[in-house]
Amino acid sequence: MTQQNNDSAASANPFAGFVHPLFTEMMKSWQGEFDALGKKVAAMPKVAEAAMKATKGCTPHDVIMSESPVRLLRYTGKADKRHGTPVLFVFALVNRPYVLDLLPHKSVVRQYLNAGFDVYMIDWGVPSPADATKTLHDYVEGHLHRAVERVLADTGSDQINLVGYCMGGTMSAMYAALHPHLVRNLVLMAAPIDWSSRESLLLSWTDPKYFDVDGIVDTFGLIPPSFLGNSFGMLKPVANYFQKWQGFYDKMEDEKFLEDFFAMEVWSNDNIPLSGEVYRDFVKYGFQQNLLVKGQFPLGKKRINLGNITCPVLNLTADADHLVLPCQSTLLKECVSSTDYTEMSVKAGHIGLSVGSRAHKEIWPRATAWMAERSEPLVTA
Amino acid sequence: MAEQQGNTPPHSPNVDPMTAFWRDVWARSAASMPNMAGMPNMPGMPGMPGMAGIPGMGAMPGMDPAAAASFMSPEVLRRMQGAFFEAMAQYAEQYMRSPQFLEAMKRSMDQALQFKRQMDDFLKSNMANAFETASGGANTEILGAIRQTSAQLQSHIDSQLSKLDARIANLEQAAGQSRHEASRPHPTTSPSAPPAATQAGGKKASK
C-alpha cells in the first residue's frame, strides 16, 4: 500500500527523485565559494590593518616655499643627479597631488628621481574661504610663476621641465604659452585642451542650457569637495559604486592588493574645495566656450595663445580615460608651434596613467628617457 | 527616453526603458552562456531565450543532476552579475545624457542653490544678529573685501613699479648716452677752427 502511494506520488510530482541529487550537486559547486567566504572573514583583521596603514605619498621631501595654502615640495632621492634642468610637477586644483607619489612601486616622482632629475612639486593645499575669489590668473601667473622662479633659483638653472597632470596640464600649457623662454620641455598628462567633443559626459552636464555656473559660484564661493567628488564618481556610477566593491570582495585576501586599494581609496576620498572663480573660468571659457584652442582663453588681461609654445612637448593620454578623453588632449598638436611633438598612450584610465602598473612599465621609462634626451646635462664644477 | 536610445539599443524604440533594460540583461546573460544555445525562446519575446539561463529555473526533471546544478553554479551567477552591471552601466550613461536627466539635474540644482541662499540669508540676518556673532557668509564677505583691497593695492604697486622701471630705464639710457659722449675723443681745436663752432657747442651744453 505504502509502495503504491509512493509510486503514485512520484508520478504526480515530477521533481521527486530529482531534487535531492540536484541539491547535492549544487552544494558541491558552491563548496569552493563557502571556503572562500571563510578565508575572507579570516582576512578581516588584515583589511583593517591595511586601511590603517594607508599613507599619503611615499617619497621624502622638504617644503622649500610656502604661500598659504600653497607649498612647493622638493623631493629627495638616492639616485645620482644627471640632468641640470629640474622637473616641476603641476597637479590639478581639485585633488591632492600625492597620487603622483602614491606608493613606492607606483610613483611617477620616483621615476624622475631615479632618472637623475631634481624633482619638485606644487601642492596647492586646501583653499580656505579667503581663496574663494582667487582666479586662474592668480594661480598661473602668481603661485605657479613664483614656484618656477623659486625652483630656478634653487637649482641655478635657466629653464624648467614642466609636467602637468589633468587640469594642472592645462595650467602648465598656459604657463608655457606665457613664458616660453622659461620652459625647456612640457609634459602633459591627460590634460584637457579642447572641449568640443560631445562624447564626454562632463560636457553634457556643463551645457549652459542646464548648468548655471554663475549661480553655483555666487552661492557657494568655494566649490564644495563633495560636489566635485560626486560629479566625477557619477561619470561611471556602476564601476565606482558597485564593481569597485565587487573587485575588493574578490581580492580582499591579497595583501598587495589591499595596500594598493586603500592607498587609492584614501586619495580618491581626499577631495578638496576649489576656488569658485577658478571653477567659473574653467567651466565658462573651457567647457562651455572652448576658448583655449581658439587662442581666446582670458587670463588676467592677456589671452592664451598656445601657438607661443615652441619647446618640445610630450603629450600623454590614457585610452580608457572617461574624465579627459584622449581626443580632448591630442588636438594640442595642431595648436602649438613646437617642431618636436610626441604623443604616447597607455591602456589605462585617467588615474591609471599615474598609478597603473602598465603605465609604470610602458610609459614612464620612455617618458623619463624622452625628457633626459632634451634636458641640459649636469655641469659639475 | 526615446531620443537617447538612438546610440546603442538592440531593441525597438517603442519598448519602455525598463523593459528594454531587462531584455538587454537577459540577452547579455544568454550570450555569455554557451550552453544556452538552442534553448526555446521566451514566450512572446522573439530572440530572447527561455528561463533556462536563470539560476534555479533551468533545471528540469529528467536532466542529469550535475548538468542541472551547473545552471546554479557560482560561475553562472558571476556571469549574470557581469551582464547586469554591463547593461546597467550602458543604460545609466544613456540616461545621464538624456534631456530628462539634464532637466531634472537643473531643477534639483536650482532648488539646492535657492535653499542654500535662503539658509545663508537666514543665518546672516537672524542668527548672527541674534547671537551678536559673525556668520560664515559675513566672514566670506570680509575675506573677499580684504582680498579685493589687496588685489587693488597689488595692481597699484605693480603699475607704480612699472612706471619706476620705465624711469630707471630712461635715466640709464640718458646716463649711457652721456657716458658715451664723454668717452668720445674731444675734437682737437685747431687754431684755425672758426670760433662760431665753439660758440654753438657751448650753447648746446648750456641747454
Question: Does the structure show a pLDDT above 50 at A273?
Answer: yes
Q: Are A316 and A367 in contact (CB under 8 A)?
A: yes
Give the CATH class of A53-374: alpha beta
Q: How would residue A14 be classed by pLDDT, with cut points 50, 70 and 90? A: low
The identity of residue A366, as a single letter, is: R
| A31 to chain B: closest CA residue | B74
Q: How many residues belong to chain B?
A: 207
Pick the range with the lowest mean pLDDT from A17-21, A161-165, B87-91: A17-21
Does the annotation mark A212 as catalytic?
Answer: no
Query: Hey, which residues 127-156 in chain A have their CB within 8 Å of chain B?
Result: 128-130, 132-134
Query: B191 in a domain, yes or no?
Result: no
Average of per-residue pLDDT across B86-101: 90
Mark whether B139 and B78 lie in a shared domain. Answer: no
pLDDT, averaged across chain A = 91
Q: Choosing among A19, A24, A26, which should be mutated to test the B contact, i.e. which has the most B CBs within 10 A?
A: A26
**Total domains present in chain B:** 3
Q: Do A210 and B106 touch (CB under 8 A)?
A: yes
Pick the range with the lowest mean pLDDT from A29-38, A158-167, A181-190, A278-287: A29-38
- Nearest-angstrom CA–CA distance, B70 and B114: 56
Q: How many CB pairs lie under 8 A apart between chains A and B? A: 94
pLDDT digits (tens, 9 = 90+) for B151-206: 889 889 989 999 999 999 999 999 998 888 888 776 655 554 444 444 444 444 33
**∠ CA A292-A295-A298, rounded to 5°:** 70
Q: Which of B48, B74, B97 is the last residue of a domain?
A: B97
The half-sphere exposure of B137 on its side-chain side, counting CA atoms within 13 A, is: 17
- Nearest-angstrom CA–CA distance, A26 and A259: 35
Mark whether B23 and B55 lie in a shared domain. Answer: yes
Average of per-residue pLDDT across A219-245: 90
Containing domain of residue B88, as a range? Answer: 2-97
Q: Are A192 and A170 in contact (CB under 8 A)?
A: yes
pLDDT digits (tens, 9 = 90+) for A79-90: 889 999 999 999
Q: What percent of chain A has pLDDT over 70?
A: 95
Element (H, E) at A373: helix A364-374
Nearest to A216 by CA among B83, B106, B99: B106
Domain residues of chain A, as ranges?
Answer: 53-374
pTM of the shown model: 0.78
Instruction: Give the pLDDT confidence score for residue A35 in this predicted structure.
Output: 87
Q: Which three cell numbers stand for residue A364?
A: 614612464
Per the model's pLDDT, the better-predicted residue between B163 and B26 turns out to be B163
Considering only CB atoms, B65 lies closest to which of A25, A219, A234, namely A25
A61-67 vs A222-223, strand pairing mode: unpaired
Query: B193 in a domain, yes or no?
Result: no
Mark whether B72 and B104 lie in a shared domain. Answer: no
Query: B152 in a domain, yes or no?
Result: yes
